[in-house]
């Protein structure tokens, strides 16, 4: 009996090798769909919605992502209803990325789930893993925000432009800086 496939290991959050043939096929599928999305007539919203629905794990009603959009696999990214992402959203979705309802995402935001061993040998042997990212409902991520692996951002939180979110942020706060730190609560 054989052990789990690299895809199964990746989806389980275990160490895996990214250049596995099965994962490579998954990435090629995503690359093809992304290319179509990123090069199509931007006024053809019906086709664009259809392609995002095919690419992503979920694409909520009345949500909009402005191309260019980039991801590793697509099927690991889940977007709620009425969410808007401006130009240049990057979702390295090795682990699941969950984006809630009514989220506003500024340009050039990066959601980064991959992790790599610090030890030289496993890193040289191409082992990696990932931790999920969860963005709550009604969150606003300013332009250029970077969210690191394993982070959860609570409902109604605002993250200022250029912030690097290295750990969880609670609901109903404003956070800024590198690393992002809470500076106040959100006004009701």
pLDDT band at 2 (very low <50, low <70, confident <90, very high): confident
Give yes or no for residue 57 having a pLDDT over 80.
yes
pLDDT tens readout for residues 64-81? 999 999 999 999 999 999
The superfamily CATH assigns to domain 6-185 is Hexapeptide repeat proteins (2.160.10.10)
| CA separation for the pair 50, 45 (Å, rounded) | 8
CA–CA gap between residue 27 and residue 18 (Å, rounded): 10
Q: What is the pLDDT of residues 123-133, one digit of tens each?
A: 999 999 999 99
Q: How far apart are CA 169 and CA 176, in angstroms?
A: 11
CB 95 within 8 A of CB 132: yes
> According to the model, what pLDDT value does residue 19 have?
87
Which residues are tagged catalytic? 116
Task: Report residue 137's pLDDT band, with 50, 70 and 90 as the boundaries.
Answer: very high
Please give the Cα distance from 176 to 185 (Å, whole number): 12
What residue ranges do the domains of the chain occupy? 6-185
- What local confidence, expressed as pLDDT, does residue 81 receive? 98
Residues 6+ apart with CB under 8 A from 118: none
């Amino acid at each position: 009996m054989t052990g789990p496939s690299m895809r199964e290991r990746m989806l389980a959050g275990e160490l895996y090798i990214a250049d596995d043939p099965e994962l490579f096929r998954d990435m090629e599928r995503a690359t093809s769909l992304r290319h179509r999305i990123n090069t199509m007539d931007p006024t053809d919203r019906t086709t664009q919605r259809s392609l995002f629905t095919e690419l992503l794990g979920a694409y909520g009603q009345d949500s909009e992502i402005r191309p260019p959009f980039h991801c590793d696999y697509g099927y690991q990214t889940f977007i709620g209803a009425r969410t808007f992402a401006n130009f240049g959203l990057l979702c390295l979705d090795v682990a699941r990325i969950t984006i809630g309802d009514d989220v506003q995402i500024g340009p050039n935001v990066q959601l980064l789930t991959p992790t790599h061993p610090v030890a030289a040998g496993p890193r040289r042997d191409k082992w990696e893993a990932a931790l999920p990212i969860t963005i709550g409902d009604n969150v606003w991520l300013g332009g250029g925000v970077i969210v690191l692996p394993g982070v959860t951002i609570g409902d109604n939180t605002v993250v200022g432009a250029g912030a690097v979110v290295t750990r969880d942020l609670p609901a109903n706060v404003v956070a800024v800086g590198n690393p992002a730190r809470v500076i106040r609560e959100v006004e009701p």
